[in-house]
Amino acid sequence: MKRHIKSQVYWVGKKDWELTSFHGDEYSTHKGSSYNSFLIQEEKTVLIDTVWAPFAKDFVANLEQEIDLASIDYIIANHAEVDHSGALPELMQRIPDVPIYCTANGVKSLRGHYHQDWNFKTVKTGDTLDIGNGKQLVFIEAPMLHWPDSMFTYLTGDSILFSNDAFGQHYASEHLFNDQVDQEELFQEAIKYYANILTPFSPLVTKKIKEVLALEVPVDMIATSHGIIWRENPTQIVEKYLEWADQYQENRISLIYDTMWGGTRRLAEAIAEGIHNADPQVDVRLFNSAKRDKNDIMTEIFASKAIMLGSPTINKGILTSTAAIIEEAKGLKFRGKQAAAFGPYGWSGESVSILNKALEDSGFKLVNDGLKTLWEPDEAILDTARNFGKEFVAALEKG
Ligand code: FEO
């Protein structure tokens, strides 16, 4: 059933309560997700985005219960990624001539995915489409937020910004709007989404938001393509994005490690004790990278002013879960964060130098040479680790 959003605008998407991972298995979705599609029924009938392919048949069948598919005048494809375009092949079989409005890169992506020569209409920033009753759709290209083809669509009169992935959250709820859901859950999923998907594009986020704000158009609602729609104080998420895009950090230090027989864990705990004793205000947190969720750890790094990465040496290398963490962090291009490495060894002892290089290559600023300790930590080594934590805090204060 379509659900009313505002005036003649309806939600016709899919809530996906079962989703546990997104982008294959790259992004954990503890709270499910939704694929938001919108139907505008003014003089013209417009469909904005669709849903992920597994739900294509249901999507088209549900839509057909609401409207005659032949009455759709325009389809807007704000983004070609399959979670939003996945029902197009099913839909276009039924209405093959209906124009699909998207960016030039959108045409390339949609052709690349589906190898169909649909009736594409290419749009650029500032282009408009009249939908009757004095209302227009205004298109705003948003390249690399987060794909080259991404764009926003603004509905005049109702002042709704259809922002696609931007401002979204992987968050299933039977509610549609931000004022109806648990705020802590909502913002946790929003920051996780930003940290894991948008961080690499932060400079572009700032630039695009400023460009949109400069238009000085009213925004009554931000209708994202995942999760809930922002209607109560909708620009609060825009303000959050400006904050998050500006090398966001809290007074937090995250210690991320993996351990074979507990030596690296004991070092991590002693370092954390040293950090806490040196600065009781700092929120120091420990994560075993083999036991904790990778995307949750990325969100913790995103919110940290500094991190430490720990691994014992194994086969002249590091444990694979720490290698995966730093590889993921490298891609996300965190900026303005300080770091250090630690790890015990028995004979060859390469882990700390490998971690140091990986941290530097990933854009973290090393504050020291790291802590490398021989064999299982005894009380003297644990004292050294406590002191390492204390000195790390002092170095950060200088940094
Ligand atoms: Fe929700 Fe970039 O797709």
* Residue 241 · residue 167 · CB < 8 Å: yes
Ligand 1 contact via 165 beta carbon (within 6 Å): yes
Q: Which atom of ligand 1 is nearest to the CA of 197?
A: 2
Residue 383 annotated as catalytic:
no
Say whether 359 sits in a helix, a strand or coil.
helix
Q: Is 64 helix (H, G, I), strand (E, B) or coil?
A: helix
**Both structure tokens of 383:** 């004292």
pLDDT for residue 398 is more than 70: no
- Tokens standing for 52? 């992920």
Q: If you measure from the C-alpha of residue 3 to the centroid of ligand 1, how many angstroms do you get, rounded to a whole number?
A: 22
pTM for the predicted model, two decimal places: 0.97
* Helix axis angle, 202-214 to 236-245, nearest 10°: 140
Contact 301, 334 (CB under 8 A): yes
- Over residues 348-367, the mean pLDDT reads 98
The residue whose CA has the least distance to atom 2 of ligand 1 is 81
Over residues 294-320, mean pLDDT: 98
Task: State the pLDDT confidence band at 250, using cuts at 50, 70 and 90.
Answer: very high
pLDDT more than 70, % of the chain: 99
Residues ≥6 apart with Cβ < 8 Å to 268:
255, 257, 259, 286, 308, 310, 342
Question: Over 70: is that where the pLDDT of 164 sits?
Answer: yes
pLDDT at 18 over 70: yes
| pLDDT at residue 399 greater than cutoff 80 | no
CA 95 – CA 56 distance, rounded (Å): 14
Which pLDDT belongs to residue 247?
96
Q: Which atom of ligand 1 is nearest to the CA of 226?
A: 1
Q: Catalytic pick from 101, 193, 241, 257?
A: 193
Burial of 347 (0-12, 13-18, 19+ CB in 10 A): exposed
- Residue with CA nearest ligand 1 atom 3: 81
What is the number of other CB atoms lying within 10 angstroms of the CB of residue 120? 18
For 119-140, the pLDDT digits (tens) are 999 999 999 999 999 999 999 9
Contact between residue 71 and residue 46 where contact means Cβ atoms under 8 Å apart: no
Catalytic status, residue 146: yes
Residue 96: which residues within 8 A CB-CB, separation 6 or more?
118, 119
pLDDT band per the 50, 70, 90 thresholds, residue 1? confident
Q: Which of 4, 23, 179, 239 is catalytic?
A: 23
